[in-house]
Amino acid sequence: MHDGRQTMNDHNSSLESYTQEFPNCETLIEGEVQVSWKINGSDIIFQLRSKTTVQEKYLAFGVSGSQTENLMDGGDVTVTYINSTGHAQAIDYYLGSYSQCTPQTGQGACPDTLASNQANDNVGLIDFFVEDGITSITYRRPLAAHDTIFDKDILLAQPTYMIWARGPINAAGTVAIHSARVNRNSNFRINFGRVVSSCPPLVATVDTVTTPTPIPQWRIPRIIARQNTTFTAEMGPSGGEQGYEAITGRIGWGIAWYINDYLIPELVVERGRTYTFLVHGGNDSTFSANYHPFYITDSEDGGYEQLSPEVQQVTLQGPLCQWQEPTGGVDTLTVSTFEEYLAMLNKMCEPGEPAELVWTVADDTPDVVFYQCYTHLFLGWKILVLDPDQPTPTEQPDVPEPITSPTPDTTTSDASNFSASMILLVLIVAVLRILA
């Protein structure tokens, strides 16, 4: 845990005036998270205080997307977190839709500056410190919306519907799906113009040595396909810490590919064989949250669209089939096996025939490739590629092995880094065809 003080002295205002007691306070999560504020001219200064702050976990707080309920969609929030180098961040976000940020289109939960190149980051970090086990991040934003659409007003004359959420920051540096958030029907409003208010004191828990309990990984069987085989590719929830995160060792968004009704199973294929993927990833490109073109690549990340602005010819789509958790969600930590989890899910399918990807594995295909989503990062997993005379490895390792990709850095937008991914992608594009 970072313990120290980081200060950004904004404008010429004195730090003293910012760090004196905040007259107003409201509880976001009882005993865990509080927000204090004060009005400073045309700005409002917020201080978020949290009992538990883990690096790369965000706390987002801001104005609801609706004036009558606590709605994430359309919300204008500030995402605060401590990054991997121990520095505080306070970033102006617009929650355009309930999906991962797609920087190319600005759709999803994006920083304002990615949501539109017309929009600005109107939030300024002021101060960050840890004291008595309580982490405080202080930032300011204008009371009045600066960017139309992407910012929302905070009114002093009447209560404002507010939203908050907590969750992980993903490897791309943007928010992943929340692990906790305000209840949509909670009628949570704050009267920012009120005179004075207080919260019960926030007391850090004095932990004896906290050894994080390892989270048991769901056992997802490999699909061994040493003959020509047809697979079905659909979307579903990523199963939280026991699913995608445990399997891959990284943070996803909250949805992932399901192959033959299994959450991101490892596929074992053979060079020279032909595999057909029946793809149900959604085909409405204007709705990026539900648009998941399927492709195979040597990139562990996927999200090809985010990596390359110029090549857009992959159009492998099909009507969406998506497994969904029941209303209210599932606490996956109480579910001991994937099979138990799947039994709780319902599958919703749009009408129509799936798209069909036909892939004949070439002799020079690398030993490990990945099935991914073209629009979003971190939705797929591994395909093990064997030679015809090579025996199937018998053991599935308990801990994901580090993947060594032949591409040195697949997360930048440097065009020179795409070549290795592209070679394989182009091979596949050459053989794909779409059923009418």
Give the whole-angstrom CA distance, residue 400 versus residue 248.
6
**Closest separation in Å from C-beta 137 to Cu ion:** 31
Dihedral sign computed on CA atoms, order 138, 144, 150, 152: positive
**Closest separation in Å from C-beta 379 to Cu ion:** 5
Give the whole-angstrom CA distance, residue 35 versus residue 126.
15
**Closest separation in Å from C-beta 177 to Cu ion:** 13
Nearer to Cu ion, 128 or 244 (CB): 244
Nearer to Cu ion, 152 or 292 (CB): 292
Nearer to Cu ion, 49 or 292 (CB): 292
- Amino acid present at 207: D
- Amino acid present at 282: G
Nearer to Cu ion, 365 or 375 (CB): 375
Nearer to Cu ion, 105 or 375 (CB): 375
**Closest separation in Å from C-beta 12 to Cu ion:** 46
**Closest separation in Å from C-beta 371 to Cu ion:** 12
**Closest separation in Å from C-beta 150 to Cu ion:** 23
E strands, 192-349, are: 223-224, 229-237, 255-259, 262-263, 267-270, 274-279, 294-297, 321-324, 346-349
Torsion angle of the four alpha carbons 95, 98, 99, 100, in this order, in degrees rounded to the nearest 10: 30
Binding site for Cu ion (CB under 5 A): 292, 373, 375-376
Give the whole-angstrom CA distance, residue 223 versus residue 97.
34
Residue written as tokens 């138990």? 340
Q: Which residues pair with 10 in a beta bridge?
A: none
Dihedral sign computed on CA atoms, order 146, 148, 152, 156: positive
Nearer to Cu ion, 62 or 302 (CB): 302
Q: What Å distances lie between residue 307 and 142, 177, 262, 422, CA to CA?
A: 33, 21, 27, 11
Nearer to Cu ion, 65 or 293 (CB): 293
**Closest separation in Å from C-beta 136 to Cu ion:** 36
